[in-house]
Amino acid sequence: MFIIEFLKSADSLTIQLSITLVLVVIYIVITKLTDKVIRRFGRKNEIALPRVVYTIKYFRFVLLAFILLVLGITWDISFEGLSVYFLSFFTVAGVGLFASWSILSNITSAIILFFYFPYRIGDRIRIVDGDNSIEGIVFDLNMFSIVIKNDEGQKITYPNSVALQKAIVMMK
C-alpha cells in the first residue's frame, strides 16, 4: 500500500533514486549471503581459501553486471550510444578470450569444479587422456587451471575446461 502511494505521489527523479538505493541494498545483502554460503561450502568441503576467494569474486562480478544493467534501465540510459562501445568491447574480447581454449570457459569450469571437484590439493590423481594421460599430485587449483606435480617433480598445468571433459581417477 505504501509503495503504491509513494509511486503515485513521487516524481521520476525520486523514484529513480529510490530504486537505486534499493538496488544498492539488494547488492550488499546478496553479496553478504553468497559470500557466507560459498565460504561455508568451502570450509565444509575443505576447499583451499584462494579458490573460495576466486569464486566469491566471480559471483560478485556477475551480480554487479546485473545490477548495473537494471540501473541503466532505471535511469533511462540510451543503449544506442552504448551499443557501439559494447559491440567493440565484445568483439575484441571475443577474439582475445576465445582464441585459445577460452579464458572465460576456464573460469566457468573453475566454478563448476569448485562445487563438484572431489579432489583436494595434495591428492594423487590421473587425468585419462589417451597417450597423453597425466598422473601426479594436485599442487594447485586456481581459476584457470589445475597444477599437477608428477613423479619427476615437474609441474604440469592442465586447463580447467579440458579437465572438466576428461575422466579423472583418484589414486591411492
Segments making up each domain of the chain, as ranges: 2-109, 119-170
| Confidence label for 4 from pLDDT (cuts 50, 70 and 90) | low
pLDDT attached to residue 157: 92
The C-alpha atoms of residue 107 and residue 128 are separated, in whole angstroms, by 22
pLDDT at 35 over 90: yes
Q: Which alpha helices (H) appear in 117-171, and where do they start and end?
A: 160-163
Is residue 168 a contact partner of residue 124, using CB atoms and an 8 Å limit?
no
Residue 1 has pLDDT above 70, yes or no: no
Give the helix/strand (H/E) hosting 141.
strand 134-141
**Predicted model pTM:** 0.59
Assigned CATH class of 119-170 = mainly beta
**Range of weakest confidence among 18-22, 68-72, 155-159:** 68-72
Query: What is the pLDDT at residue 24?
Result: 94
Q: What is the pLDDT of residue 2?
A: 62
- Those residues whose C-beta lies under 8 Å from the C-beta of residue 85, and which sit 6 or more positions away, are none
Specify the DSSP class assigned to residue 132: G
As a whole number of angstroms, the distance between CA 93 and CA 99 comes to 10
More confident residue, 90 or 169: 169
